Amino acid sequence: MGKVKKLVKGEEINFGSKAFMSSVFACLIGFIVALALMYITLLCFSYSNANSAFISLFTYTASSTDLLTSFITLAGISLLLSLGFGVGVKGNLYNFGIFGQFAVGGVLSIIGGSMFNLPWYYLALIGAAGGLVIGLIPGIMKAFLKIDESISSIVLGVICLVGAELALYNYPGLIGEGGVSLVDINSSNPSALIGSFDINGFKLGYGVLIAVGLSIVMSLALSIKGVKASTNNLYKMRFSPEMKKGHYKGAVVLTFIISGAFAGLAGSLYYVNLFATTQVHFLSITNITPSLIGMASALMTFGNPIGSIFTTGMISYLISSCQSLSYFSVSNYVIYILLGVLIVCGSVQLMVRFHLLRGVSFRRLNYKIDKKTRVQEVISTVSENKRETLSKSDSPTFEETALAKKLAVETSVPPEEKGRTQSGNIQKRLAQVLNSKKSGSANDDSFAIPLTPFSRVLKDYDSNSVSNMDDAEITRVSSEDGKEEK
């Protein structure tokens, strides 16, 4: 009751906790769906070992400190990539070529650390700069030439992979015959390595701490009113041609710059340390895996930096555990099925959040709106205050329209009936609808207010109040709606 009053008076209502919980549930639903499909795939390929293989996905990584170390490293790198990819997700800008920027950052850092003996923080800057320059190109193409960023970034990413591979294996003095590294960074330039600290045999790299720290910083930055408005505006600009003037082009380019910089930084931190211990091949599917994890994580959390920490960790854990599938005669390529399904679930998570937040069916209610002018006035009053908290679209939702219609009906109540308040009538009608739904005698053809957050927050709603209504009251309320339907 209180929140409905606030709504009508034009005061803001905070649904922050609901939005947070709906995001969490949307991610969990995505994971459950992906794991279910994974289990079905395991059943198809290895029926007798499916249960053991599925359980190993959750236990394998935790069974060894080396595996935990590699999982944490993968999670840290993927988190940086997720932050980079997530910057554009809110504005519907997808930098799918992030794997190319990742490779460019990596090769620049390898060359800088091996041949020029630069310390890791310079290498990180160089890697970020390289990724930034590469990320700028699809951004400019999108903003000024209006070329779709998905395809242009993928094509550019392939070019970057080829260029990085050729640069690495043909840079003078870097790689010898048979792909053997001629430079031992561990001894020649240990400052190039990011380093780690040891906790009972478990090594936690400082790069992971950098990634987590950056995500916290980003989260704080995004909570600043101006920055938050910018990201929301980017989303609106994407779907509103009128707002594509002015700052949209700059915002698009800035998005891709930030995305590319994060990817380059991730490549720098990852590849230098990898090069120190093993051979590096950029044109390998395994080197694209961190980018895919970052994409899946960013899509599932809708670009939220803090959420990315948890989703990246969960996905990286599952990917690390997929190595155990070979013991059960299942190919490791199954992880790409998992990643693909997670990305798909991430693409619909906005719809899932919508359902969880509103708790209503997606099917629109069919009704006629009479007294259109008055209704439109009420809608504009209601929508103005609810827009920021519930809806990001410019058109009113059907809940708002339903409430507006009811309020319009109430304002047209004859003077002799004005003994009861507007909210009182709403409350009684809601009670009638809710009870009729419970008893299964809901008349779907009549006007029915859907079960919205408005109804749920009516704290002083008393289900017994309906029983206190006499038949005349119920009939009158119903007949008013019947007249409206005509």
CB of 40 to another protein, least distance (A): 11
Tell whether residue 382 is a contact of another protein (CB under 8 A): no
Considering only 136, 143, 237, 334, the residue that binds another protein (CB under 8 A) is 334
SS3 199: strand
What distance in Å separates the CA atoms of residue 31 and residue 50, rounded to the nearest whole number?
A: 18
- Say if CB 101 and CB 161 are below 8 A apart: no
What distance in Å separates the CA atoms of residue 126 and residue 128, rounded to the nearest whole number?
A: 5
Location of structure tokens 């070979």: 326
For the segment 184-223, give every residue that binds another protein (CB under 8 A).
none
For the segment 131-150, give every residue that binds another protein (CB under 8 A).
141, 145-148, 150
- Quickly count helices (H) and strands (E) in the chain: 20, 2
User: 136 vs 433, which CB is nearer to another protein?
Assistant: 136
For the segment 32-61, give every residue that binds another protein (CB under 8 A).
41, 45
Tell whether residue 154 is a contact of another protein (CB under 8 A): yes
Location of structure tokens 């908290």: 389
Considering only 33, 133, 162, 451, the residue that binds another protein (CB under 8 A) is 162
- Say if CB 73 and CB 207 are below 8 A apart: yes
Tell whether residue 234 is a contact of another protein (CB under 8 A): no
CB of 90 to another protein, least distance (A): 11
Tell whether residue 155 is a contact of another protein (CB under 8 A): yes
User: 299 vs 360, which CB is nearer to another protein?
Assistant: 299
CB of 434 to another protein, least distance (A): 27
Tell whether residue 283 is a contact of another protein (CB under 8 A): yes
Task: Tokens for 441, please give them.
Answer: 């005698």
User: 60 vs 94, which CB is nearer to another protein?
Assistant: 94
Q: Tally Cβ neighbours within 10 Å of residue 43.
A: 15
The strand pairing partners of 202, in sequence order, are 199
User: 122 vs 367, which CB is nearer to another protein?
Assistant: 367
What size, in residues, is the chain?
A: 486
Tell whether residue 346 is a contact of another protein (CB under 8 A): yes
Tell whether residue 412 is a contact of another protein (CB under 8 A): no
DSSP for 326-340, please give it: GGGT--TTHHHHHHH
Tell whether residue 340 is a contact of another protein (CB under 8 A): yes
Any idea what the Cα angle at residue 258 is, between residues 101 and 190, rounded to 5°?
60
- Say if CB 15 and CB 392 are below 8 A apart: no
Considering only 159, 243, 413, 442, the residue that binds another protein (CB under 8 A) is 159
- Say if CB 287 and CB 103 are below 8 A apart: yes
Interface with another protein by CB under 8 A: which residues?
41, 45, 92, 94, 96, 141, 145-148, 150-152, 154-156, 158-159, 161-163, 165-166, 169-170, 175, 179, 239, 241, 283, 292, 295-296, 299, 329-331, 333-348, 350-351, 372, 395
